[in-house]
Amino acid sequence: MSFQNFITNAVSEWMNGEGEDADIAISSRVRLARNIQEYPFPILATDSQLEQITAAVRQVMEDEDCKRQGPFEFIRMDQLTGLQKRVLMEKHLISPNLMAESRGGAVLLSENEAFSIMVNEEDHLRIQCLFSGLQLQKAWEAADRMDDIFEKHVNFAFDERRGYLTSCPTNVGTGIRASVMMHLPGLVLTHQINRILSAIAQVGLVVRGLYGEGSDASGNLFQISNQITLGQSEEEIIENLTSVAHQIIEQERAARRYLMQNRRLLLEDQLCRSYGVLTNARIIESDEAAEKLSDVRLGIDLGIIRNIPLSVMNELTVMVQPGFLQQHVGQQLDSDSRDERRARLIRERLQSAME
């Protein structure tokens, strides 16, 4: 896949709506933070040292085992426009930090976008694997394979007592961040979400929004991830998060059953009204689009709204973002123009899904 395809095509494999409990668990991600022993952390490294790290990563791309995981495209951040970087961030292929701080930054992307290996972000390497549905074990196994490939070629900064050494102390140890993106409208509508989020925090997990730390949980989308990386093995972290995710899914399903049994008419009215707005609106802002898309997604899950695949709703989550909208039309847009284009794009995509 050429770089142009990465930024013009909204569809990534993690959006395909497949995998265990994909109606609620939209995606599973595992990210490993690693640093090369011979170099300072990126914030302290010289430009020359950052280039040497980049060169080391490009050498790993020639490894036959690496090629079998790909093919890969190597993309330097300093060769992209701000808009192009934003699109990659909106597709969850790079972090907001790599988008903003691109000194020596790069990303290694697999053709199906399941692998995203960020270079010279907060750490020398951030090895990310992203899959549809609740597939944390699969994501961990894929990330672990890629970690082993890199370890054949570079010496990772590692301490026998502390584990992998990272720029941020909260990542020291395993260096693993595992997360599940979940759609939880039932718990929100039944006013249980605050209780659930409080319970999650008590078992060492953290809840963030669509784009991680500092982002809001718009459209009833919540990213649940581990907070502890030291003192537990990778397998224990994955197992704990998977177990909690299963419990949240069961509570979300119970909330949906309650709504269908006790508030069905009101629920159907809300969801169908949202569908009517999305298929007819000429102007729509980001927040309203996220809210209405959440309603329509719930309507699809409950069988109230038919003939629209879940993958389309996952695509629209990315397609309505400011960066992708502007990339789609090939020009910078002011706020009013983005709202008009967003409404048009949603109408056209839903219409094509119904044909």
Report whether 274 belongs to an annotated binding site.
no
Question: 211: annotated binding-site residue?
Answer: yes
Task: Confirm or deny that 213 is annotated as ligand binding.
Answer: yes
The answer to the question of whether 341 is labelled as a binding residue is no
177 is in an annotated binding site: yes
Is 48 annotated in a binding site? The answer is no
Instruction: Please state, as a whole number, how many other Cβ atoms lie within 10 Å of the Cβ of residue 190.
Output: 17
Q: Which amino acid is at 181?
A: M
Confirm or deny that 256 is annotated as ligand binding: no
What single DSSP character describes residue 245? H
Order of strands, sheet of 221-226, starting from the edge strand that comes earlier in the sequence: 72-76, 106-110, 115-119, 125-132, 25-34, 176-183, 221-226, 205-208
**Rounded Cα–Cα distance for residues 115 and 108 (Å):** 8
Residue 104 marked ligand-binding: no
Measure Cα distances from 248 to 176, 183, 245 in Å. Answer: 22, 10, 5
Q: Which residue shows structure tokens 């219409």?
A: 351
E strands along 111-233, which residues? Answer: 115-119, 125-132, 158-159, 163-164, 176-183, 205-208, 221-226
77 is in an annotated binding site: no
* 282 annotated ligand binder: no
Residue 181 marked as a ligand binder: yes
Q: Is 113 helix (H, G, I), strand (E, B) or coil?
A: coil
DSSP 334: -
30 is in an annotated binding site: yes
Q: How far apart are CA 227 and CA 204, in angstroms?
A: 6
Binding-site positions = 27-31, 92, 126, 177-181, 208-213
Binding-site positions for ATP = 27-31, 92, 126, 177-181, 208-213
